[in-house]
Chains A and B, each alone.
Chain A
Amino acid sequence: MPARSIIQHMMNNVESRTTADAVVVEDLRVVRGGKPVLPCLSFSIPVGQVTGLLGPSGSGKTTLMRALVGVQKVAAGRVEVLGQPAGSAPLRRRLGYVTQAASVYDDLTVRENLRFFARVLDADPDAVERSIAAVDLGEAADRIVSRLSGGQRSRVSLAVALLRQPEVLVLDEPTVGLDPVLRRDLWQLFHRLADAGSTVVVSSHVMDEAERCDRLLLMREGRIIADGTPAGIKQQAGSDDIEQAFLHLVEAHAGSAA
């Protein structure tokens, strides 16, 4: 079966789902630096799933996440989160966003960072300690962030997003530089959050993480070239290894686009 029809088939599968949607994107177009980074994107994500966003570097994952959060200027199209336009004021307390680079204050301690963001978010008093425990930073809690390792820093950034148990959690490569044990724990956490009703969107480069998603969106050059469960994608690409399936689909798309 040619790649094009595989993709079509998977797209149809997704469109026939009827669960309530946490995210609806319709004909989204984003232009960055004069270049159409997302030419025309449409998809939706139901509530309570862990959705993985995969794709080569520069394929537009971060741009798409920024559009979901409402910090990206959008040229055309519709982005709705929890039934409201992305970035609207009421959404700001229902959504958590972790940027690709850790965005916390380097000159404050872990706990000071979390206390500050907790006050901004009006989170409950235990939220700070709970978040610290969730990312396993108890021992580093009183250390200055600039003196932490890269993985520890990104965990501080992640902890901020967990302060309010957001209904939608957008995570841009949250597990880069983390050891396997910690990655496993965090993925278990993402799934616990999803089971509790949160919708989690995670971008990643690590293929074994792709296997842990309920659903995968494969992106290339601002387009979604495959959409389905990890098993579905492997099956359709005729490979039992997700990395092989991914390479196969990206190359097939590159071939058909040329």
Chain B
Amino acid sequence: MSPRVTLAVAGRVLTQLRRDHRTMAMLLVLPVLLMSLLWWMFEALPGDTFDRVGPALLAMFPFIIMFLVTSVTTLRERGSGTLERLLSMPLGKGDFLLGYALAFGLVAAVQSVLAVSASVLLLGLEIQGPVVLLTVVAVADAVLGTALGLLVSAFAQTEFQAVQFMPALVIPQILLCGLFVPRSGLPDVLGAISDVLPLSYAVDAMRLLTATSDTGEVWNDLLVVCAFAVGSLVLGAATLRRRTA
């Protein structure tokens, strides 16, 4: 691996995104709009429901969006022959994956800053912990989504199949992350499953940050999310084959 090649890949992915105004707008504006929708939904209800649900959503958006964008983009790269061409060049598999992770991580950082700022400044989301850490968690989350997206793109032949991994891999995580039923209240088996799903830790971290100013546990959760991201990237590198049938 070499930083020159990794940065070349990241730069190229960013140039492609910059060209694609519609995708860029969706990436940056959509989370803000959805947070606003959520705030509006709870507007007429008594209590602080937005404060309870909002953080979980802040963790989910970057994860889901980056998962989708990455799995489709890398699949396109496999289909167009550019991946095969790159793999016949002096490019480490890690360069390719890390380049993607860097580029999308950067987009996710901007996306999260926008979504968090809008939630806190405009929509009045109450956050006890440091707002910066909230953004860090969101970025880690996005990188996790990117890493998983890269991984599943190896198992899909078409973009159509790649999109199907979303209900298969992402929705169970949304159901079990504690948004609908608190994780402590889940049946034992489901609780155990929830404990090994990365999104649970991302949502826990967001929840803690809004509820307390004590950040000790948040760092633990953050570490788990990062470990999952790194694990997926390593697995993803293993699934990239230079020789194909």
Q: Are B242 and A70 in contact (CB under 8 A)?
A: yes
Per DSSP, chain B at the interface is helix
CA distance A20 to B8 in the complex (A): 36
Q: Are A87 and B243 in contact (CB under 8 A)?
A: yes
B residues in contact with A95, CB < 8 Å? 88
Report the minimum CB–CB distance from A168 to chain B (whole Å).
11
Q: Are B243 and A120 in contact (CB under 8 A)?
A: no
Q: Are A105 and B91 in contact (CB under 8 A)?
A: no
Q: Are A32 and B245 in contact (CB under 8 A)?
A: yes
Q: Which residue of B lies closest to A34 (CB)?
A: B245
B215 at the interface (CB under 8 A from A): no
Q: Are B82 and A107 in contact (CB under 8 A)?
A: no
Q: Are A99 and B89 in contact (CB under 8 A)?
A: no
Q: Are A97 and B243 in contact (CB under 8 A)?
A: no
How big is the A interface, by class? 20 to 34
Q: Are A107 and B4 in contact (CB under 8 A)?
A: no
A117 is contacted by which of B89, B243, B245 (Cβ under 8 Å)? B89
Q: Are B242 and A121 in contact (CB under 8 A)?
A: no
Chain A 82-98 interface mask (CB, 8 Å, partner B; 1/0): 00000101001101010
B182 at the interface (CB under 8 A from A): no
B184 at the interface (CB under 8 A from A): no
Q: Are A71 and B16 in contact (CB under 8 A)?
A: no
A27 at the interface (CB under 8 A from B): no
Name which of B20, B80, B91 has the most chain A CB atoms within 10 A of its CB. Answer: B80
B185 at the interface (CB under 8 A from A): no
B:78-135 near A, CB below 8 Å? 80-82, 84-91
CA distance A106 to B73 in the complex (A): 12
How big is the B interface, by class? 20 to 34
Q: Which residue of A lies closest to B241 (CB)?
A: A73
B residues in contact with A97, CB < 8 Å? 85, 88
B residues in contact with A121, CB < 8 Å? 89-90
B85 is contacted by which of A72, A93, A99 (Cβ under 8 Å)? A99
Q: Are A120 and B5 in contact (CB under 8 A)?
A: yes
Q: Which residue of B lies closest to A164 (CB)?
A: B89
A residues in contact with B245, CB < 8 Å? 31-33, 72-73
Known contacts A92-B90, A121-B90; is A103 also within 8 Å of B20 by CB? no
A:78-137 near B, CB below 8 Å? 87, 89, 92-93, 95, 97, 99, 101-108, 112, 116-117, 119-122
A residues in contact with B15, CB < 8 Å? 108, 112
Name which of A87, A101, A117 has the most chain B CB atoms within 10 A of its CB. Answer: A117
B243 is contacted by which of A73, A102, A106, A107 (Cβ under 8 Å)? A73
Q: Are B89 and A107 in contact (CB under 8 A)?
A: no
Q: Are B88 and A71 in contact (CB under 8 A)?
A: yes
Q: Are A103 and B82 in contact (CB under 8 A)?
A: yes
B:1-33 near A, CB below 8 Å? 4-5, 7-9, 11-12, 15-16, 19-20
Name which of A101, A104, A105, A106 has the most chain B CB atoms within 10 A of its CB. Answer: A105
Q: Are B88 and A70 in contact (CB under 8 A)?
A: yes
B8 is contacted by which of A103, A108, A120 (Cβ under 8 Å)? A120
A residues in contact with B16, CB < 8 Å? 105, 107-108
A169 at the interface (CB under 8 A from B): no
Q: Are B19 and A144 in contact (CB under 8 A)?
A: yes
Binding site for A on B (CB under 8 A): 4-5, 7-9, 11-12, 15-16, 19-20, 80-82, 84-91, 242-245
Binding site for B on A (CB under 8 A): 31-33, 69-74, 87, 89, 92-93, 95, 97, 99, 101-108, 112, 116-117, 119-122, 144, 160
Beyond the given pairs A72-B244, A107-B20, 11 more chain A to chain B contacts, judged by CB atoms under 8 angstroms and listed by A's residue number, are A32-B245, A70-B88, A87-B242, A97-B85, A99-B84, A99-B85, A101-B81, A105-B12, A116-B8, A116-B11, A121-B89
The 10 A-B residue pairs with the shortest CB-CB distance in the complex, in nearest-first order: A103-B81, A119-B8, A116-B12, A92-B90, A103-B85, A93-B90, A73-B243, A73-B245, A99-B81, A103-B82
Residue pairs across A and B with Cβ atoms less than 8 A apart, 30 shown, are A31-B245, A70-B243, A71-B242, A72-B243, A73-B243, A73-B244, A73-B245, A87-B88, A87-B243, A92-B88, A92-B90, A92-B91, A95-B88, A99-B84, A99-B85, A103-B80, A103-B82, A107-B16, A107-B20, A108-B19, A112-B12, A116-B8, A116-B12, A117-B89, A119-B4, A120-B5, A120-B9, A120-B91, A121-B90, A122-B90
